Amino acid sequence: MKDAEIERISAAIIARGLGGQSEIELLQGFCADCNAAGLDLAMGIAVIDTLHPIHEGRAFHWRADGQVEREVTEYTPTSYSDENWRQSIFYHLMQTGGDELRRRIDDGTPRDFDFLNKLEEQNQTDYVAFLQRFDREGVIGEMDCIYTHWSTGKVQGFDDAELAALRRLVPLLALALKTSSVTRVAETIAEVYLGRDAGARVLKGRIVRGVADRINAVLWYSDLKDFTTITDAAPPDEVIPLLNDYADAVISAIHDKGGDVLKLIGDGVLAIFGGAEPAETCRRALLAEAKMRKRIADLNDKRKAEGRPLAGVNLGLHIGDVFYGNIGSTTRLDFTVIGPAVNEVSRIVALCRSVDRDNLFSSDFVAATPEPERSRLVSVGRFALRGVSRAQDLYTIDPELVRG
C-alpha cells in the first residue's frame, strides 16, 4: 500500500473519530477503506473492556462477505470460561507482554490457537492480531487496552507492505475506538448515577449551578416496608442483596413505563414521569405501579423458596410543578427536583404504614388521572401532612380490585 493511501485512510479515521462515529462504524469504515486501497481484509474484530454495571466489555465484528451474526457483542465476566479465556490469543498477548501475533493459516503447521482452525474452515489464509495498551493515566476501570485481529483470504496472505500498513494504521484506529468508548462510558456513568434524562441533560451541558427548569411531573416516592425491622433481623451479608433485588424490581418497572429515577435514598426511590399530557403521564405511573407489584410478587416467591428475607413496597404518587436542575456547591452538584410537591410526596408515602395501605395517591394525581384508571381509585380520607400547611385528600387502589 502506498504512503498516499495510508495518509488518506489515516485522515478518514481522524474525521470519523472527530465526527463521533460509534465503534462499529469506525471499524466498518476502516475495513472498507483498506479493501478499497487493495489491502483485502476478510475479517476485522475489535475488543475493548468498558466501565458498566453489567457488561465487562464490547466486541465489534466485521466481515467482507457480510456474514456477521452480531456486529456488536456485549460480554460479561461469565460469558467465557476460564479455560477458553486462557487459550485465547488475547490472553497470550496479555501474559507475554507482546503487542502483535501473526500466523499463516494455510501452511500446514500445527495450530496453537483454536480460533485459527475456525478461520481455516472459512478459507482464510493469514492472520494478525494487535494489542494497543494504554498508559496508566489513560486507563478507566478495566479499560486498559484495545485488541484487534485481522485476516485475509488472499492466496499469498498479507505481504510485508500490507503488514507495515496495518502497523501504522491500527494504532490510529485504536485511538478513535478509545475515544468513542470513553464517550460511551461517560454516558453510562451519567445514566447509572444520575438517571437517564438527568444524565443526558448534564452531558448536553446542563452543568451550571442554579440552572433549573420548571416542569410539571408525576412524582414517585417508594420505600421498603419495615426495612429497619428486616435489616435488624437479617444477616449483615443479606442486606445489600435484599436492597438490590427490590431496587431492581422497582426501577425496572419505572423505566419500562418511561419514568426517570433521580435518587436512591437508602431503601427509597425518587422518580419522575414527565410528559406534555398529564393524563397520559399519570396513566404510565399507574402502569409502572402494577408492573412493580407483579415483579415484587414474583421476587418474593423466589426469595421465600430460598429461605431469604421478604419485603414489600410502599408507594406515594403526586403531581405538581417542580424545579429540575443543578443544586449544590461549586464543587459538588446534584441534578434533582426540588419544590413543595417533592416534600408532599415524601410525606404521603410516610402515611402508608399508619393507614395500612401500600399505595397512597394525592387528590391532584387522581384529578389528573384519566378513566377508566380513575374509577379504580378510592378515598382513604383527609390527612394532615407533616410540614405541609393544608390537609390532603388521599386515595388508594380499590382494595376489592386488588383482592380480585
How does pLDDT run across 97-106, given as a tens digit for each residue? 999 999 999 7
Q: Spell out the residues 6+ positions from residue 396 whose beta carbon is closer than 8 angstroms to its own.
A: 357, 359, 360, 361, 377, 378, 380
376 DSSP 8-state letter: G
pLDDT for residue 69: 86
Distance between CA 60 and CA 30 in Å, rounded?
12
The residue among 362, 351, 356 whose CA lies nearest residue 386 is 351
pLDDT for residue 219: 98
Distance between CA 63 and CA 274 in Å, rounded?
43
pLDDT for residue 404: 53
Q: For the purposes of burial, counting CB atoms within 10 Å of the CB of 208, is it exposed (0-12), middle (13-18) or buried (19 or more)?
A: exposed
Q: Say what angle helices 3-18 and 23-36 make with each other, to 10 degrees.
A: 160
Distance between CA 8 and CA 130 in Å, rounded?
21
pLDDT for residue 259: 97
Nine-digit cell string for 176 = 478513535
Distance between CA 27 and CA 46 in Å, rounded?
8
- How far lies 347's CA from each of 215, 219, 326, 341, 365, in Å? 21, 12, 23, 10, 15
pLDDT for residue 136: 92
For the chain, how far is it from start to end, CA to CA, in angstroms? 74
pLDDT < 50 stretches in the chain: none
pLDDT for residue 403: 60
User: How confident is the model over 304-313, as pLDDT tens digits?
Assistant: 999 999 999 9
Q: For the purposes of burial, counting CB atoms within 10 Å of the CB of 141, is it exposed (0-12), middle (13-18) or buried (19 or more)?
A: exposed
Domains of the chain: 3-193 (3.30.450.40), 207-403 (3.30.70.1230)
Beta strands of 181-232 (E only): which ranges? 212-224
375 DSSP 8-state letter: G
User: How confident is the model over 278-321, as pLDDT tens digits?
Assistant: 999 999 999 999 999 999 999 999 999 999 999 999 999 999 99
Distance between CA 70 and CA 74 in Å, rounded?
10
Q: Which residue has the cell 451474526?
A: 69
Residues in the chain: 404
Q: Say what angle helices 160-194 and 196-203 make with each other, to 10 degrees.
A: 120
pLDDT for residue 218: 98
SS3 for 93? helix
Beta strands of 266-385 (E only): which ranges? 268-274, 313-328, 333-338, 359-362, 377-383
Whether the upstream peptide bond of residue 372 has omega within 30° of 0, thus cis, is: yes
Pairing assessment for the beta strands 313-328 and 359-362 based on DSSP bridges:
parallel
